[in-house]
Amino acid sequence: MSDVSTLSALELSRLYQSKTLSPVEVVDTQLSRLESLNPIYNAFYCIDHEGAREEAKKSEQRWLNGEPSSLFDGIPTSVKDALLSRGQKSYRGSAANNSDEHEWNEDCPLVARQKEAGMISLGKTTMPDFGILASGYSSQHGITRNPWNSNVTTGGSSSGTAAAICAGLNPVAAGTDIVGSIRLPASYTGLFGLKPSQGRVPYYPSNADTLVAGPMSRSVSDSAAYLNILSRPDYRDARALNWQDTDYSEHLNKARPSLRLGLLLNIGFGTSPDPETLAAITCAAQQLEDLGHRIIPIESPFSSGDEDCAELYYQQRCHHEFKQYPKHLRKQSPYIDEFTRRCEEVSAVDLFDATMAMRQLGVKTLEMCSAVDYLLLPSTPRPAFAAELPADAPNKLFDPWCNNFLFNISEQPAASINCGYTEGGLPIGLQIVGPRFDDAGVLQLARQYENIRPAQRAFPI
């Protein structure tokens, strides 16, 4: 049973089907592992021992009867703090949130789909304050640490989600991504993470037009199968895409003809790229070129200052939520208090101007991508920084998102897949961006790269 933690979701599913392994055995093993490792990594703030064991028994019986609810019936997972789940508290990472006064009486679409599929939540995972910090720093939950090196961050905002999967506490879980919160922690922890096209995964309640949810795992195959579950329809999201009965796993290994792959090494603003990161991305592009794809260097159409309108938008979105809490509680989230302070002086005209400028950023992003089939760039310009910090440069909280947020605005699918390691052993993520609605294509290209990339180091499981 010591190897359970290293198995993928699909491997667990096959063992359930052959009756070689039981969901009860797996959940018991993972809960024991969680109790041992969570004090180190701080991935979970709520562990549901009783509920997980009860659901594991039900799943075991379904497999014994030959009637599993889905391929992922009995697969351990988790629920990010940002996602509402019936009977559990959600703090959105902040001590300013007075969530102790109530519990939610409904599941968000994503949690509902997981339960319908028979997946078993081990509990709720940590996130930084209001999902706007690019680290595992949370005024409510404390510091979430990276299993590759506990001195550095997992990234945010899907910090606990990434730490749990990386450490082998569960093989798959969903992250949310409003500005880069799936791809950034996937990059820092060596995982695969997909930010789907806007509306692919129904989301409710949503507090931003750029907010999406998507799969995170240790393999592309697991995420593709997981997306089949997450993307199923839910009437509560009026902006969701029309559901298509697409089997992302079935399409995963389809041959890709020679593609035009744009290579963008510097976005033009934000954090300066790290040389080791640039070397790893360039190497990945060369490997894809060796497969017959054409690599086309892309010059960024953006320059320093272009991101200011987006930073104001995200500040205002966070401020709108933050100001709802009592002033004495807001002081417990000092970084957010400082980050949103300028919004007190922002007029409606200022915000509207910023929103319109953001739309133009989206248009410019789509135009940049129009000359190629897919875009390659670093998931993050630099590797993981110190765990205690809210950002690489604490006075520049928005900078770590510089390679991510444009594709939230343009609503394009974008994935991060590990492509190498720094000299110090930290993972480096390759970001693959596709045309709007081409989630299957991004998964296919990621799978193709996964098959040819250099040998990966074993996860710290």
The per-residue pLDDT for 254 is 87
The per-residue pLDDT for 216 is 99
The per-residue pLDDT for 71 is 98
φ and ψ of 295, to 5 deg: -95, 125
Residues 103-140 pLDDT 10s: 788 999 999 999 999 999 999 999 999 999 999 999 99
CA atoms of 208 and 211, how far apart (whole Å):
5
CA atoms of 155 and 171, how far apart (whole Å):
18
Average pLDDT over residues 434-455: 97
**β-pair type (192-195, 260-263):** unpaired
- With beta carbons less than 8 A apart as the criterion, state whether 260 and 294 touch: yes
The per-residue pLDDT for 1 is 45
Count of other CB atoms within 10 angstroms of residue 208: 17
Residue 99 has pLDDT above 90, yes or no: no
In the three-class reduction of DSSP (H, G, I as helix; E, B as strand; rest coil), residue 348 is classed as helix
Count of other CB atoms within 10 angstroms of residue 34: 25
Could you tell me which residues are beta bridge partners of residue 310? none
Residues 256-274 pLDDT 10s: 889 999 999 999 999 999 9
- With beta carbons less than 8 A apart as the criterion, state whether 387 and 135 touch: yes
Residues 366-377 pLDDT 10s: 999 999 999 999
Residue 2 has pLDDT above 70, yes or no: no
- With beta carbons less than 8 A apart as the criterion, state whether 120 and 56 touch: yes
pLDDT band at residue 98, thresholds of 50, 70 and 90? confident
φ and ψ of 413, to 5 deg: -70, 140
For tokens 């709007």, name the residue.
Answer: 436
- Higher pLDDT: 103 or 298? It is 298
CA atoms of 191 and 373, how far apart (whole Å):
24
The per-residue pLDDT for 286 is 98
CA atoms of 214 and 208, how far apart (whole Å):
16
Helices (H), 300-347: 308-322, 327-330, 334-339
φ and ψ of 417, to 5 deg: -135, 140
Q: Which CATH architecture best describes the domain 4-177?
A: Alpha-Beta Complex (3.90)
Could you tell me which residues are beta bridge partners of residue 175? 214
Q: Which amino acid is at 134?
A: A
Please name the residues in contact with 95: beta carbons below 8 A apart, sequence gap of 6 or more.
139, 140, 329, 332, 333
CA atoms of 230 and 114, how far apart (whole Å):
7
Residue 66 has pLDDT above 60, yes or no: yes
For tokens 């298509």, name the residue.
Answer: 244
pLDDT band at residue 147, thresholds of 50, 70 and 90? very high
In the three-class reduction of DSSP (H, G, I as helix; E, B as strand; rest coil), residue 397 is classed as coil
- With beta carbons less than 8 A apart as the criterion, state whether 4 and 13 touch: no
Q: What percentage of the chain carries pLDDT values higher than 70?
A: 99
Residues 53-63 pLDDT 10s: 999 999 999 99
Residues 301-337 pLDDT 10s: 999 999 999 999 999 999 999 999 999 999 999 999 9
The per-residue pLDDT for 207 is 86
348-369 vs 308-322: helix axis angle to the nearest 10? Answer: 130
- Maximum distance among all Cα pairs of the chain, rounded to whole angstroms: 63
First to last CA, the chain: 13
**β-pair type (260-263, 294-297):** parallel
CA atoms of 10 and 42, how far apart (whole Å):
26
What is the average pLDDT value for the chain, to the nearest integer? 96
Report the chain's C-alpha Rg in angstroms.
21
Please name the residues in contact with 287: beta carbons below 8 A apart, sequence gap of 6 or more.
449, 452, 453
